[in-house]
Amino acid sequence: MPQWRQGLTKSLHQTRSMPESRYFQLATVDESGAPFCRTVVFRGITDDDQLIVISDTRSEKFNQLAQNDKAQVCWYFSKTREQYRFSCNALVMTADDNFDLVKQQWDKLSDAGKKQFFWGEPGTPRNDGSALHIEGDFKQVPSHFCTLLLAIQTVDYLNLRGNPQNREWHQKDENGNWVSQSLIP
């Protein structure tokens, strides 16, 4: 297990009682190169160092990643004062691509979480303040539900505790092995 991943596992364990530690910021760019950043929910990490996020194929996030698969994650743990910045390549998986993976992520959602995917198309006008209605059977995986796999390419780790603070750079070498370098914060 790479050094950065051991640290991330420890950070997640130390902050497991803090719901906000399950959220990180995901940045993408649109077709003109304008940056977009949003908060997403961490759904897990694969054995080959891919962060798992769920999404909707009708969202801006999906369209931006379809145009440019480069993304950056910024994840801050306030309790431990640690920041991880991951440069990633995103792979969007629909049920047509990998039904088992997508269904597995769907099945982990609460009923309330599933119903959000049936409120209508994200970003479209909401005509009044009435309750959102569910359109469809939320027991079935909708065709617009997808899983994002964020394949980590580099890690910039910063620990703000202590003086001096600690910063590390992690990247894969030409053989695919993770190498680390301490940096001046």
What pLDDT does 11 receive?
98
Average pLDDT by consecutive 10-residue portion of the chain (185 residues)? Answer: 96 96 97 96 97 97 96 97 98 95 96 91 81 78 96 98 95 95 96
Q: Which two tokens stand for residue 107?
A: 């099945």
| 175, containing H or E segment | none
What pLDDT does 37 receive?
98
Q: Which two tokens stand for residue 43?
A: 């759904």
What pLDDT does 28 receive?
98
What pLDDT does 129 receive?
73
| pTM of the entire predicted model | 0.93
Identity of residue 176: G
**CA-wise closest residue to 8 among 102, 84, 97:** 84
Question: How far is 124 from 121, CA to CA, in rounded Å?
Answer: 6
What pLDDT does 132 receive?
78
What pLDDT does 139 receive?
82
Instruction: Give the gyration radius of the chain's Cα atoms.
Output: 18
